[in-house]
Amino acid sequence: MYLGSWLSRLCKSLSRPIGKTTQPIWSSLSRSLALSSQRIPEFSSFVARTNTCGELRSSHLGQEVTLCGWIQYRRQNTFLVLRDCHGLVQIIIPQDESAASVKKILCEAPVESVVKVSGTVISRPPGQENPKMPTGEIEIKVKTAELLNACKKLPFEIKDFVKKTEALRLQYRYLDLRSFQMQYNLRLRSQMVMKMREYLCNLHGFVDVETPTLFKRTPGGAKEFLVPSREPGKFYSLPQSPQQFKQLLMVGGLDRYFQVARCYRDEGSRPDRQPEFTQIDIEMSFVDQTGIQRLIEGLLQYSWPDDKDPVAIPFPSMTFAEALATYGTDKPDIRFGMKIVDISDVFRNTEIRFLRDVLAKPQGAIKAICVPEGAKYLRRQDVEYIREFAAHHYSQEVLPIFLNAKKNWSSPFAKFLMEGERLELTRLMGIREEDMVLIIAGEHEKACSLLGKLRLQCADLLEMRGVVLRDPALFSFLWVVDFPLFLTKEECPTELESAHHPFTAPHPSDIHLLHTEPEKVRGQHYDLVLNGNEVGGGSVRIHDAQLQRYILATLLKEDVKLLSHLLQALDYGAPPHGGIALGLDRLLCLITGAPSIRDVIAFPKSYRGHDLMSNAPDSVPLEELKPYHIQVSWPTDSGEETSSATPSKNLSS
């Protein structure tokens, strides 16, 4: 009985969710192994085993089997649990003298050692079955055992429920990969990519084309990694995306391209970004925005994991202006309410002077959100944090109003409100007992952006207090469209930069504004948002060389020589085309509920962009730098730089 109860606790521990994952790992993993409904994968073909540790059932009773795996646990030298990537199985250690050599191997091998065992599948004794374990009705009576590799002392236990720092996990990534959660994440990733390939290539005629990794520096966008060449002063660049190549493939008549593309940005890592990442990169000829959107909806529906609720299509759509005005962001989380409401009309005739002054300005507005039961759940320090955040990051004053259980209004600002203003505010915002209202008066875009941040902060605070607002099992996709084609540069407001990238085509209705008011032009750019995170972005492209040259040279002040190859190609009969790129890492992170994209990448970089396992990036001997005609300049305490070598022709790197 004790034996069965221990295994039950073990399986329960292995089934605990990691991060936001709500599905038990055991059930999710077993479902993810079925790559096709028509064909059962041969997991034991070409190898020295007959079965995996997770597949044996009562139907295998009496069979002679050979298993290979890692020793998960051993107790009292009477049994051990053997693990492979498919599950766990209980092994009975023989106690009779004739099997002394087998017992010695299995009893002395350290935990996480790799062993090979052969024996007979038998039933567990009555009462010792474990219904929570897929192999819980049987065990293996071992006849022979072989120690394939002994394990040294581990830096941490290979169990999902054992807390480990991320730095330690990344340092010993090859051990972290043995965990069931990482096994599930990477196998789910493989399964989804395979289904995406099947959908695009087999069902819709796309061509999988690899594009170069070594390219040239291009204008705009994120910082690029430079790669030195042996030609003095000349460098390759690692592409941020295959954008130009995919367009050139359309000029080349490929018609439909896709690629599981590696992309690079010389930027620091964040929970949802790292220096190297993967996109599902797609481009089509003779297509419009609607065609791209329908393709992606079908792609996600087709490749969606079986252990998640199915994806409903079509996805809802929202304009950029609507998203900003309603949610304060271009990537809104639509799983919960707390929408931004314009309450300017409530205060058109107010006696509160500073509100009148705000409304007298051209872009002046008064905005608010209603936090349901905020007066009940949010504490005084929470409200102070919100006000300090607004003052520090936006230089804005937040005016909180509370409605208590007796329907009394409280806060320093509430006493200045007239009765009519209170009634209209209650009607317009649907305020109920114990709700809290946050009011901001200021410029429209700035007020909306701040309330968008406060909306998410309040949701976090409410969920910390036990209020359920965002169902982690719910996946709410949203298209955001009609972005501005250009934005003004923060460092130079008189100059423009691309909101998406410089190859995005202007909206047909706004082309006449390009020469007079380019800042008002909308682009044919669309983003795909999932639960408040951007997981994809694309656009219909400019296929006219003259228009592309005008936008690059005249509006964006870019050096067109860097893109002469693309401009020339557009002059040779380029078809209308458009495309999109899905961020595979970010998408998988959201689907699995992982706290970081590093949990869905086999060998990720750290927060600082380092590989903690191999210590990359690493220094290079001076002799190896000489063929590239570069030298390293080391900073000194005085702030000046000193060179470590002086080749005849060099560039500082």
The pLDDT value given to residue 14: 44
The pLDDT value given to residue 23: 41
Pairing of strands 256-264, 207-208: parallel
The pLDDT value given to residue 287: 98
Asked if the model's pLDDT at residue 29 lies above 50, the reply is: no
Pairing of strands 651-652, 630-631: parallel
Return the higher-pLDDT residue of 646 and 164.
164
The pLDDT value given to residue 640: 58
Q: What is the pTM of this model?
A: 0.89
Return the higher-pLDDT residue of 346 and 162.
346
CA distance 252 to 244: 12
Q: Quote the mean pLDDT of the chain.
A: 90
* Model confidence pLDDT, tens digit, residues 587-625: 999 999 999 999 999 999 988 889 999 999 999 999 999
What's the pLDDT band for 27 if we cut at 50, 70, 90? very low
Give the contacts of 68 (CB within 8 A, at least 6 positions apart).
47, 48, 49, 84, 114, 115, 116, 117, 148
* Model confidence pLDDT, tens digit, residues 451-473: 999 999 999 999 999 999 999 89
Task: Print the SS3 string covering 471-526.
Answer: CCCCCCEEEEECCECEEECCCCCCCEEECCCCCECECHHHHHHCCCCHHHCEECEE
The pLDDT value given to residue 643: 52
Asked if the model's pLDDT at residue 9 lies above 90, the reply is: no
CA distance 344 to 367: 7
Instruction: Choose the weakest-confidence range: 26-30, 295-299, 343-347, 490-494.
Output: 26-30
Asked if the model's pLDDT at residue 651 lies above 50, the reply is: no
Return the higher-pLDDT residue of 169 and 652.
169
What's the pLDDT band for 411 if we cut at 50, 70, 90? confident
Asked if the model's pLDDT at residue 564 lies above 70, the reply is: yes
Asked if the model's pLDDT at residue 649 lies above 70, the reply is: no
- CA-CA distances (angstroms) from residue 42 to 14, 33, 49, 55, 467? 25, 11, 12, 12, 46
* Model confidence pLDDT, tens digit, residues 205-249: 999 999 999 999 887 667 899 999 999 999 999 999 999 999 999
The pLDDT value given to residue 31: 46
* Model confidence pLDDT, tens digit, residues 472-502: 899 999 999 999 999 999 888 889 999 999 9
The pLDDT value given to residue 596: 92
What are 489-498's contacts with CB under 8 Å, separation 24+?
495/557, 496/555, 496/556, 497/220, 497/556, 498/220, 498/556
The pLDDT value given to residue 15: 40
The pLDDT value given to residue 639: 55
